């Protein structure tokens, strides 16, 4: 019995003498706390030995964390806008001991969330509710992130991004915005129709001007000499034809009489006819 007791005490002494160990994984830092005091230098990934009776190892993640918050955003006109926002942040491993010393493990609820609520209330109150539903959203997100970075400076917490995932406007405001957008789309559609009509009218005007110019050029070119020349060409074409024809002429322009019908007809398709009044 005495031997068994001695053996047990011996094993206990060996156990107390041998240190314990833990593994700090990739994306973590370990901070050793001995008798309630944190060591200044954190441990990177690897095996860390420590005395479990007087020391423990606090592990903090240095990876990007996502904190999602649902809250009401106050707008410039005094409306409450329901929003769901994601906060992407990470812990600076080199400042992990100071973070644990000043804030502790529950830094997300103790510091990040209060700072976020203060920043989002301050920023959203500068904008109208409709701005949160348009292209101004990115500006609002950037302003919230800048405000949080300023308030968390030196605490070892880096705010990587603030993302407004969803916005729920009051029903009346949402309907008013939709009606305004529809009216703007209708106005743009009407403007397009008017521009197209103006383009078509311009094309018709250009075609009319071309026709008018062509007629003026033709009218200016129909001189007495040209008409007489065309008359000679028509006589020459008639002379080549073997058919019997009756030709009435004043000596200048020919008119061919169709024998079967008895009505005047052009001598040829290319000849130019004209009746003169004495």
**Is the distance from CB of 262 to CB of 269 less than 8 angstroms?**
no
82 occurs within a structural domain: yes
User: DSSP state, 27?
Assistant: T
The pLDDT tens digits for 228-244 are 777 777 767 766 767 66
274 occurs within a structural domain: no
The pLDDT tens digits for 72-126 are 888 888 778 888 999 999 999 888 999 988 888 888 899 999 999 999 989 988 8
Are 116 and 154 in the same domain? yes
Which range of residues forms the domain containing residue 70?
A: 65-169
Q: CATH number of the domain that 82 lies in?
A: 3.30.479.30
272 occurs within a structural domain: no
Residue 231 CA to residue 273 CA, distance in Å, equals 8
Are 72 and 146 in the same domain? yes
The pLDDT tens digits for 140-164 are 999 999 999 999 988 889 999 999 8
Mean pLDDT (whole number) for 189-204: 86
Are 82 and 158 in the same domain? yes
Grade residue 53 by pLDDT with cuts at 50, 70 and 90: confident
186 occurs within a structural domain: yes
The structure's pTM equals 0.56
1 occurs within a structural domain: no
């Amino acid at each position: 019995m005495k031997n068994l007791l001695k053996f047990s005490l011996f094993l206990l002494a060996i156990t107390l003498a041998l240190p314990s160990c833990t593994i700090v994984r990739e994306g973590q830092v370990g901070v050793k706390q001995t008798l309630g005091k944190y060591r200044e230098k954190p441990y990177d990934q690897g095996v860390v030995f420590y005395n479990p009776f007087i020391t423990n190892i606090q592990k903090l993640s240095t990876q990007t964390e996502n904190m999602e918050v649902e809250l009401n955003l106050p707008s410039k006109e005094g409306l409450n806008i329901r929003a769901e926002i994601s906060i992407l942040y990470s812990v600076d491993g080199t400042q992990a001991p100071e973070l644990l010393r000043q804030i502790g493990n529950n830094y997300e609820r103790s510091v990040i969330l209060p700072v976020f609520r203060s920043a989002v209330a301050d920023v959203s109150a500068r904008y109208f509710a409709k701005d949160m539903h348009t292209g101004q959203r990115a500006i609002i997100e950037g302003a919230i992130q800048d405000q949080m970075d300023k308030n968390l400076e030196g605490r070892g917490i880096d705010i990587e991004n603030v993302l407004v995932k969803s916005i729920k406007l009051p029903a009346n405001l949402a309907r008013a915005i939709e009606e305004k957008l529809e009216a703007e789309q209708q106005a743009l559609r009407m403007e397009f129709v008017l521009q197209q009509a103006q383009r078509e009218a311009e094309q018709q005007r250009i075609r009319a001007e071309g026709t008018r110019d062509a007629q003026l050029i033709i009218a200016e070119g129909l001189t007495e000499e040209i008409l007489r020349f065309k008359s000679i060409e028509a006589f020459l074409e008639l002379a080549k034809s073997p058919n019997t024809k009756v030709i009435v002429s004043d000596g200048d322009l020919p008119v061919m009489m169709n024998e079967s019908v008895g009505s005047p007809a052009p001598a040829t398709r290319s000849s130019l006819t004209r009746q003169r009044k004495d």
